[in-house]
Structure 1
């Protein structure tokens, strides 16, 4: 099966007409308004394609209504299940924006030694001001690098390569 990316999970039903509350796994819940189709993890039934009829935010959740599901009994069994999109159906990103799932596992190189692998991105932490890349070093250990223009010189997702500049103090 093609790559799937989880965008949320159904937490509970909402009302009796088949709506669900979804905990979003995205930094911008308004993105659900533009989603046409989602894949529901149906367990042993496999992935079920659902057409989004309506989406509206509610506090930190999203209320979703799927076309053809008009009764609480039709959706209740999917509480706790994940909602996914295919790679082609992910939202479009702005210049210099990347999906965390695409960054994790990228090889990292420094401007001091551009031909020698420095490490691999093992995690991305969202801090509010800027993201921070947790880089697992080739020689062991980890270093945290802020995802700012002074440090991130280039990102090539297709070739799984990130070029960085280590500011003084990051490795001390």
Structure 2
């Protein structure tokens, strides 16, 4: 198969030691239950990484999943007993310690680890940095912030388009398919014409 394998965990790491595994999206009902969105490859695994922390690491959350709901889970935290308390946590990102997460085989990566990697072409020219990792049902796509511009483009995260991922140096080598990168505009002559 010509695909790299990804484990979906969060958008950005809190640090090298913590990875975002989900978010609290508000209350569910009136008794303090929470709506939880899981970023885990196996969504219900988010509960097994408790205690989770907030983005700054100031608070710990002992998450208990109650049942699946549309786009996530209804869950409970021991210290939350009202709808207002649950709503106050809306938007809180939930982080797990990296050592709690499963170790990955070669050629498998966590989404969060790819964000920020420099992307070079096969000739060594810097193309840009990975801004996000997307998947809309087919292959994974790397959104590249192209160097020196505000332009982004999407690169398939396949072995043929991205033959090298070097986590030690935080860089990857890409051989983008034709048409992925914007075509440079030809320079116009500014001097007299013959």
Quickly name the TM-score band, shorter chain normalised: 0.7 to 0.9
Bigger Rg, which one: 2
Cα-to-partner distance string for 1:9-44 (whole Å, 9 max, x where unaligned): 24114452x4322233455422223222112469xx
Q: Which residue of 2 aligns with 1:59?
A: 70
Q: How many equivalent pairs are there?
A: 164
Aligned to 1:34: 48
Q: Tell me the secondary structure at the aligned position of residue 47 of structure 1.
A: coil
5+ residue gaps, structure 1: none
Distance between the aligned counterparts of 1:127 and 1:77, measured in 2?
29
Does residue 170 of the first structure (1) align with residue 180 of the second (2)? Answer: yes
TM-score, scaled relative to structure 2: 0.66
Q: Go from structure 1 to structure 2 and tell me whether the alpha carbon gap of 1:128 and 1:93 turns closer, same or farther (over 3 Å shift).
A: farther
> CA, structure 1 residues 133+110, in 2 after alignment: closer, same or farther (shift >3 Å)?
same
Which residue does 2:23 correspond to in 1?
8
The structure in which a higher percent of residues are strand is 1
| Alpha-carbon separation, structure 2, partners of 1:125 and 1:145 | 10
CA distance, structure 2, for counterparts of residue 136 and residue 79 of structure 1: 32
After superposition, the C-alpha distances for 1:46-103 in whole angstroms (9 at most, x for unaligned) are 732122344532221212223x337337943634141321442563264433333322
Against the structure 1 CA distance between its residues 158 and 86, is the aligned structure 2 distance closer, same or farther, given a 3 Å change threshold? farther
Alignment-derived partner of residue 158 in structure 2 = 148
Structure 2, unpaired ranges of 5+: 1-13, 184-194
User: Is 27-36 or 71-80 further displaced after alignment?
Assistant: 71-80
* Aligned alpha-carbon RMSD (Å): 3.1
> Which segment drifts farther, 132-141 or 152-161?
132-141
d(CA) in 2 for partners of 1:35, 1:62: 15
* Deviation (angstroms), 1:151: 1.0
- Give TM-score scaled by structure 1 length: 0.73
Matches within 5 A, 1:59-98: 59-66=70-77, 68-69=78-79, 71-72=81-82, 75-76=85-86, 78-88=88-98, 91-92=101-102, 94-95=104-105, 96-98=107-109
